[in-house]
Amino acid sequence: MMEPSPRGETASLILQAADEMFGELGLDGVSVRDVAVRAGVNKALVFYYFASKEKLFEAVLERYYEVHRAALEASFQSDAPLAQRLHALVDAYLDFIEQHRRYPRLVQALVVGNPAFHPFIQRNLEPMFRFTEAVLVGISPEHGHLAARHFFLDISAAVINTFTYAPVLAPMWGGDPLAPAALAERRQHLHWLADALLTGLTSATPSPSPRGGEGRGEG
Q: How many CA atoms lie within 13 A of 14 on its CB side?
A: 29
SS3 122: helix
**Which pLDDT score is estimated for 8?**
81
**Which pLDDT score is estimated for 105?**
87
Q: How many CA atoms lie within 13 A of 186 on its CB side?
A: 22
**Which pLDDT score is estimated for 113?**
85
Burial class (CB in 10 A: 0-12, 13-18, 19+), 129: middle
Burial class (CB in 10 A: 0-12, 13-18, 19+), 94: buried
Q: State pLDDT tens for residues 120-172.
A: 999 999 999 999 999 999 899 999 999 999 999 999 999 999 999 998 999 99
| Architecture in CATH of 60-212 | Orthogonal Bundle (1.10)
Q: Which residues of the chain have pLDDT under 50?
A: 1, 4-6, 207-219
Q: Spell out the long-range contacts of 115-122 with Cβ–Cβ below 8 A and sequence spacing 24 or more.
A: 117/54, 117/57, 117/58, 120/58, 120/61, 121/61
